[in-house]
Structure formats: structure tokens, C-alpha cells
Amino acid sequence: MISNAAETKTADVRLRLEPALKEQAGRILADAGLELSAAIRIFLKQVVAHRGLPFEVRQPSAATLQAMKDAQAIANPRFGSTQELFDGLQKGRQRKGRSAAQKKRLHKGISKGP
């Protein structure tokens, strides 16, 4: 006899977590088309398949933490005034800016040359 998958689900799991964490995770998972219980089930199946956690768990080094802080500061810069904001935007354009000729060469696949 072939059993229905729903019939084989007989174990309950109770989990205590912060309401905000549950709500945030639920919202993210819903955007991916998953319910919280399905995501937990997927996680547990991966634990079994990997015979352990399906990802590495470790404390980042001091260098990694500093790099993460630096990246965050670059991604979300803070400015003391609107003038500082515009100066920062101008500097970013100058660093990223390419001349029209450089863009055309890159588009055509032509190397820079001397």
C-alpha cells in the first residue's frame, strides 16, 4: 500500500524564538514561496544529507570583521551635509568614469593598447 506523505508526518517540533525573528524570516521565506515549516523541513533534510550542518559555522576573524565594517561603510556612507554628499558622488564618478573612447573600445572587445 502506498501511503500519503501527509500521513507519515507525525512528529511535532516546538521552537521558541523571538517574535521579530519569526516574522522577518517568515516574510523572506514567503517571498521565496515557502512557509516556515517547509523551510525548517528542508533544513533538516539537508542536515541528514550532509550528516551535519549544511554550512560552516565559525566566528569571523578580526580581519574579516573589519572588512565587513569597511564594506558596510562603503555601501552605506554617511555624510554630514548635502555638500559632502555631492562631493562623495563626484569622487565616485571620477573613480568609475571612463571616456567615451574607452567605453567604445571595451564594447567592441578591443584592448586598451599603450
- Record the pTM: 0.47
36, 25 in Cβ contact below 8 A? yes
State residue 8's pLDDT score: 76
**Do residues 43 and 54 touch, judged by C-beta distance below 8 A?**
yes
More confident residue, 114 or 99: 99
pLDDT in tens, 87-108: 888 887 776 665 566 656 655 6
What confidence tens digit (pLDDT) does each residue in 50-71 have? 999 999 888 889 999 999 888 8
Cell of 10: 507525525
